[in-house]
Chain A
Amino acid sequence: MNITINGEQKTVPDHITVTEVLELFKIVTATIVVEHNGAIIQPDSYAGSYLAEGDRLEFIRLVGGG
């Protein structure tokens, strides 16, 4: 199925969870925040958050800035 991650169209397996998407893209979760369809989800919910066709994910982190 197709989902949008950080504004980019990505094809991922059906019935996938947020945890699995993070593993797929080799993202270490300790210092990131996840938004699922515009709502922040907490780390303990990643494994139970299943994605559907057309869903939007944002993976955000702190970077250098003024």
Chain B
Amino acid sequence: MLTIAGTSFVSRLFVGTGKFPSAGIMKQALEASGTQMVTVALRRVDLDNPEDDIMRVLDKDRYTFLPNTSGARNADEAIRLARLARTASGSNWLKLEVTPDPRTLLPDPVETLLATETLVKDGFIVLPYINADPILALRLQDIGAAAVMPLGAPIGTNQGLLTRFQIEIIIEQACVPVVVDAGIGAPSHASLAMELGADAVLVNTAISIAGDPVAMASAFAKAVEAGRSAYLAGMGKVTTNAQASSPESGQLMDDLSFLS
């Protein structure tokens, strides 16, 4: 079972709630995914449509809500959003996201580190979204991050684990859970992350924009479970030369040696 900051999760699939075609489909997809942790964002109330409220369709007893600080471009903005998120969600869980460049949405490591330091002291359970930087992951762990969330590829690109080798180092070194976040575009990507030993994955776009988000959520659930089982079972070594899988002695060809 996965434990983060004293809370245990059976499901290792975290799901984002953005970009679903409707609230009803999102609700069904979350159920099909088996997730127990869902991310949400903070935005201004639409004054022309004040009734539009995602929280009305989500079962608060079923999920741990992980508000993010998306839109923050520096530590100060992230801290402001974090405090708003805490008031809105009534909990201290936070996915810290500081993305100054709208083109790449890559996280700012310096501002993320600064914000983590302040927010941990302020009692938040901080899960920082980071580039797959093993040194930064250790620094964040040292100052009290509850988990680290390295990206596989830029947000929403569906490119998979482009950062695979750095993620492997992060997993090898981390004492806190490693949640691979962003870029996971297919169940096979999620499975690979779990096979490498990630503690969980966070998926949003790949599910929400699928032709059938509910079926895709179910596919991701199976992939995460398969990857985790494979990791626990112990994967074979990758080698360059062929290693015969059938017995090498007593081959039929021995009886046919007169042909040579």
Question: Using Cβ atoms and an 8 Å threshold, which residues of chain B touch A58?
Answer: 44
Question: Using Cβ atoms and an 8 Å threshold, which residues of chain B touch A28?
Answer: 50-51, 53
Cα A64 to Cα B65 with chains together (Å) = 11
Q: Check A65/B40 contact, CB under 8 A, given A8-B47, A32-B45.
A: yes
Q: From residue B206, how far is it (CB to closest CB) to chain A in Å?
A: 10
Cα A24 to Cα B40 with chains together (Å) = 27
| Max chain B C-beta neighbours (<10 A), residue from A7, A35, A66 | A66
Q: Is the interface of B mostly helix, strand, loop or mixed?
A: mixed
Q: From residue A35, how far is it (CB to closest CB) to chain B in Å?
A: 7
Q: From residue B83, how far is it (CB to closest CB) to chain A in Å?
A: 6
* Interface presence of A47 (CB below 8 A): no
Question: Using Cβ atoms and an 8 Å threshold, which residues of chain B touch A61?
Answer: 42-43, 45, 53, 55, 88
Across chains A and B, the number of contacting residue pairs, with CB separation under 8 Å, is: 94
Cα A42 to Cα B68 with chains together (Å) = 21
Cα A42 to Cα B51 with chains together (Å) = 21
Interchain CB contact under 8 A, B55 and A66: no
Interchain CB contact under 8 A, A64 and B18: yes
Interchain CB contact under 8 A, A62 and B89: yes
* Interface presence of A27 (CB below 8 A): yes
16 further A-B pairs in the complex, CB-CB below 8 A; given A33-B84, A61-B45, A64-B54: A6-B44, A26-B51, A27-B45, A28-B50, A59-B45, A60-B84, A61-B43, A62-B85, A63-B43, A64-B26, A64-B40, A65-B39, A66-B39, A66-B41, A66-B68, A66-B182
The residue of chain B having its C-beta at the shortest distance from the C-beta of A34 within the complex is: B87
Q: From residue A19, how far is it (CB to closest CB) to chain B in Å?
A: 15
Interchain CB contact under 8 A, A65 and B18: yes
Interchain CB contact under 8 A, A63 and B88: no
Q: From residue B151, how far is it (CB to closest CB) to chain A in Å?
A: 11
Q: From residue A36, how far is it (CB to closest CB) to chain B in Å?
A: 12
* Interface presence of B188 (CB below 8 A): no
Q: Check A65/B68 contact, CB under 8 A, given A7-B44, A25-B50, A33-B87.
A: yes
Contact residues on B (Cβ < 8 Å of other chain), bracket: 35 or more
Those of A1-45 within 8 Å (CB) of chain B: 5-8, 25-28, 31-33, 35, 40, 42
Contact residues on A (Cβ < 8 Å of other chain), bracket: 20 to 34
Q: From residue A15, how far is it (CB to closest CB) to chain B in Å?
A: 21
| Max chain B C-beta neighbours (<10 A), residue from A40, A58, A65 | A65
Q: Check A65/B50 contact, CB under 8 A, given A33-B84, A40-B87.
A: no
* Interface presence of B185 (CB below 8 A): no
Q: From residue B79, how far is it (CB to closest CB) to chain A in Å?
A: 12
- Bits for B202-232, please: 1 = Cβ < 8 Å to A, else 0: 1011000000000000000000000000000
Interchain CB contact under 8 A, B84 and A35: yes
Partner of A66, one of B18, B56, B89: B18
Q: Check A65/B16 contact, CB under 8 A, given A31-B88, A40-B84, A60-B84.
A: yes
| Max chain A C-beta neighbours (<10 A), residue from B44, B56, B155, B156 | B44
Q: From residue A39, how far is it (CB to closest CB) to chain B in Å?
A: 10
